Amino acid sequence: MLSTLHAADARIAVDADFRQLRHHTKNALQRILCQIERCRELQATADGKRLINDIERRVRLSSAVSDAMFGLTSKPGPLEARLQQLCDALIELLGDSDQLLRARVIVDPAVPARLDDTVLRIVHEFVGNAIKHGLYARSVGNITVQVERAADLRVQIQVVDDGWGVCCAPEQGEGLKLARVLAEQQGGSVGLGSHRGLTRAEASLHLS
């Protein structure tokens, strides 16, 4: 009984910490944007206006990525919506302005909610690699994210892109290493390969 009460108190404390962090982060980002908008010297030149627009865009996109992964400035929604938000923000943040990149997200409703954070963090690394390496300098590209519960008590994560292939994406890059650490914490593994013009990054997580 006491352990249950302690666990409940801990959850309340963590929730309060996140609420305060969200409030602080939201206020700080709003203040940055407000200060930028008030900088008349920058607004007086074309280069200054472009700089203002770029800073505002990157602040908003970074906020969107943080919200999708951690709910940093707003309370997190369902996993599928968070993954789609994450992918769309990463495409705009990491892709080139003249690229047309699309992301499609498919989530099995049977995936346990307790794995949401791990799934989001792994997908963040896989999609980031796909944009930076697989789809680098491609005018058009597609990314498919699929998360499903398998019959063997595993959750399978797949990120597939139609870019250049793994020869342009180093297997020992920091993103893939981090994804492997996250998967291994859940007793799982990570793989990467190309076949018939598609590159597939995969992670397997144990449910037990």
Which of 19 and 114 is assigned the larger pLDDT? 114
Q: How far is 33 from 30, CA to CA, in rounded Å?
A: 5
**Residue 120: which of 170, 171, 84 has the closest Cα?**
84
Are both 56 and 103 inside the same structural domain?
Answer: no
Write down which residue in 33, 60, 76 finishes a domain. Answer: 76
Are both 82 and 177 inside the same structural domain?
Answer: yes
Q: What is residue 39's predicted lDDT score, i.e. its pLDDT?
A: 80
Are both 59 and 145 inside the same structural domain?
Answer: no
Write down which residue in 44, 76, 108 finishes a domain. Answer: 76
Are both 72 and 94 inside the same structural domain?
Answer: no
Are both 60 and 82 inside the same structural domain?
Answer: no
Out of 18-22, 66-70, 120-124, which region has the weakest mean confidence (pLDDT)? 18-22
Q: What is residue 111's predicted lDDT score, i.e. its pLDDT?
A: 95
Q: What is residue 190's predicted lDDT score, i.e. its pLDDT?
A: 96
Residue 181 sits in a domain whose CATH number is 3.30.565.10
Count the domains in the chain.
Answer: 2
Query: Are the C-beta atoms of 105 and 87 separated by less than 8 Å?
Result: yes
Give the Å distances, CA to CA, from 76 to 7, 82, 86, 107, 132. 22, 7, 12, 16, 26
Residues facing 142 on adjacent strands: 102
Give the Å distances, CA to CA, from 207 to 26, 28, 114, 158. 34, 38, 10, 17
Are both 125 and 49 inside the same structural domain?
Answer: no
Are both 57 and 126 inside the same structural domain?
Answer: no
Q: Is the pLDDT of residue 14 over 90?
A: no
Strand order in the sheet with 198-206: 100-107, 140-149, 154-161, 198-206, 189-195
188-197 per-position pLDDT tens digit: 999 999 888 8
Are both 206 and 106 inside the same structural domain?
Answer: yes
Give the Å distances, CA to CA, from 44 to 35, 47, 77, 119. 15, 9, 40, 45
User: In this structure, what token pair is assigned to residue 198?
Assistant: 């598609």
Are both 87 and 190 inside the same structural domain?
Answer: yes
Write down which residue in 46, 76, 106 finishes a domain. Answer: 76
**Residue 162: which of 99, 95, 101, 203 has the closest Cα?**
101
135-176 per-position pLDDT tens digit: 998 999 999 999 999 988 899 999 999 998 876 445 567 888
Are both 92 and 180 inside the same structural domain?
Answer: yes
Where in the sequence is the domain holding 64, given as residue range(s)? 1-76
Are both 55 and 114 inside the same structural domain?
Answer: no
Global pTM exceeds 0.75: yes
Are both 63 and 97 inside the same structural domain?
Answer: no
- In which residue are the tokens 């982060």 written? 25
Q: How far is 136 from 59, CA to CA, in rounded Å?
A: 23
**Residue 128: which of 151, 160, 94 has the closest Cα?**
94
